[in-house]
Copies of this chain bind each other. A is one copy, B any other.
Amino acid sequence: MFKATIQDISVVKDSLDAISSLITEGTFKITSNGLSLVAMDPASVAMVIFNILPSAFLEYECSEESEMTINLPNFVSVLKRARANDKLKLELTESKLKINMEGDFKRSFAIPLIDTPHGSQKVPELSFKSKVELFANVLKDGIKDASMVSDCVVFEASPESFIIKSFGDLSETKLELTKDSPSLLSIESQETSKAKYSIDYLEKMLKGVKPTDKLLLNFSTDYPIKIDCNKIDKYQLSFILAPRVDTE
């Protein structure tokens, strides 16, 4: 059986909120290493790899491995009901996930488990030519700029700089970080990588990150991007997104 207590739900809630904008039904594997979720969005364009570490919890008890498939937006709605100082207890029963909140008074919620015929998703093996580490607010700014003129954005990494740009019918936007920009934490690029991604997906993925969060972008030319947004001792979270490739 699985039981766990968490004091500060906010860290996990924001990530789950972003994930639930991509994926409705999610299957968590529950082991002594934490709760892990690997899932594709319905259009098979994006993948989520999420692992909440046991150290994110005050107490974490898992006697045997199990699976739990739940409606993620419903789960997030319940988590959003927690008051600031509530202690949350999760408990898995045969048919339900129970969530107890204890603060000034006691509240309890139950979410039904969903039968799932799907086997679990496999994480694809990917190797990337460019790795860019930067603050979330810069990435969000560049994407928001781009959204004014297009529904997709181009990322371009060279050994010297990282560029976020977009082209509309006649308009253009461009955000450039050079190696000496304080906003660019690190860049490793063996060659120039250039690829185009959906703004809509990126915005959903970045919904939960804070402006000062550090993100690692991994990509190559016309190749998927993997965005890592990890929180030490709390969770590992990666999003993989397929590129848009022009077929002209």
Contact = CB atoms under 8 A, between A and B. Distances in A.
A74 B145 CA distance: 12
Given A170-B112, A183-B104, A78 B175 contact: no
A6 B81 CA distance: 38
- The count of identical subunits is 3
A178 to B, nearest CB: 8
A199 interface: no
A172 B109 contact: yes
Contacts of A106: 175-176
Which applies to chain A's interface (DSSP): helix, strand, loop or mixed?
mixed
A78 B148 contact: yes
Contact of A144 (B81, B138, B181): B81
A212 interface: no
Contacts of A83: 141
A107 interface: yes
A105 B74 contact: no
A143 to B, nearest CB: 11
Contact of A171 (B74, B107, B174): B74
A109 B181 contact: no
A119 interface: no
A82 B111 CA distance: 44
Contact of A173 (B107, B171, B176): B107
Interface of A: 74, 77-78, 81, 83, 96, 104-112, 138, 141-142, 144-145, 148, 169-177, 181-183
